[in-house]
Structure 1
Amino acid sequence: MTDRPTIVLVHGMWHGGWAWERVASLLEADGYPCVRVTLPGKDRAPGDPTFRGHCDHLVRVLAGIPGDIVLVGHSYSGALLTEVGDAPGVRALVYLSAFCLEPGESVASVNDAEAGSQAGKDDIRQVGDYLVIDPDTARHAFYHDCTPSDAADAAARLTPEHADARTAVVSRAAWRTVPAHFVVCTLDRACTPEVQRKMAARVGSVSELESSHSPMLSMPGAVADTIVKVATEHAS
């Protein structure tokens, strides 16, 4: 029996490590150590809140973990996986309705290219250097299959995100060299299933969940099962 890899869980825009609590609890109960990353940002964690700052933060986190790693990104943080996901020790990438980008693309360029997102450029406000999403918008765009109390709780915890996170362009594509799996969320209103499937076609392994943009809240068991499957396939 090989030692189980550490599962590193990275959140999307406006969220924090709290979004992964249920998935991490299930994985840890199954014997997988977990690290829930909270990226630097206003009212969130100290440090550089830009895309480059987030990449550097994630690289530091990964460097501190011994042994094998399965790196999981939700939504925006797929851009981080794309940029730095080939760090030492990373055996596999999991994109959960996440931005699996080509060099030269940004979250904004991909998500705004197709109509239909309820969390696109017209649904968020810029205040100074930061982007804000209103709780009502978030509830409808991110959490429509969550319980009303879960949706309200999550929407209330969202924090401003530096505008650079949305527009920064990736320079590399780690998914070309690290095995990657893409989970398409078929009821997603924030990153439409059409946009997700275009990105998913870039990697060799794809599955689908009949969920909103936030299956880590609405169906954590299914998300944990998918991560375990990927971890098992790529155990060294």
Structure 2
Amino acid sequence: MPATTNSSATPAQASRHQRRREKTRARLIDAARNLVAERGVDAVGLSDITEAADLGAGTFYNYFHSRDEIVEAVAEESIESLGARMDLMTADMPDAAEVFSSSLRHLVRHAISDPLWGWFVVRLGVAHPKLIDILGPRAARDLRKGVDSGRFTIPDVDIATSCVFGALLSTLHHVVSTRTQDGADEIFAQAMLCMVGVIPDESRDVASRPLPRLPDL
């Protein structure tokens, strides 16, 4: 059960207690992220996480109830925050093709600049529900925006979303495995724009536009 603070504690004591809890939780999160990135979810046990964090097994249960719960927490912190920043970046973009392209490019660039993050997403895999829950609806939203505006030609948005999702994971695996960097984000975005019906010359133009920076949350 999660620990509680003593009701008689002073504000300073309560604040120190909260900081200690946050640091301990962060150690568990970091350990889980690193292990999943290295081995994959199925090869990581609770004892592996607590050992890597240099914490006792009992401490783990003060913060999480299961391995799945901590993996979901890692995904939430590692991927949802990036998704939210991309939402802010694209909120005022009028062109659905640029929205789609910019988001895909940032995901590829993030994997290049932070290979541990890239491996975590790749090892989490297409079948993990949390990854699908975080990225799937955003991809479907951007594709529907393109269809509704007449920018994209897609027979089935759900199937197109699955194709984009699978291609993204394969591309992230490629860039973190080979350390390919030069223009990988533009090449991937261009290919995905062609897939959704944007003509090649225009896909190349959109994918090579200056990439807006991600705003802070």
Greater C-alpha radius of gyration: 2
Of Structure 1 and Structure 2, which has the larger fraction of its residues in strand? Answer: 1
Of Structure 1 and Structure 2, which has the larger fraction of its residues in helix? Answer: 2
**Fold similarity call, TM over 0.5:** no
Please classify the TM superposition score into its range, dividing by the shorter chain length: under 0.3
TM-score (norm 2): 0.24
TM-score (norm 1): 0.23
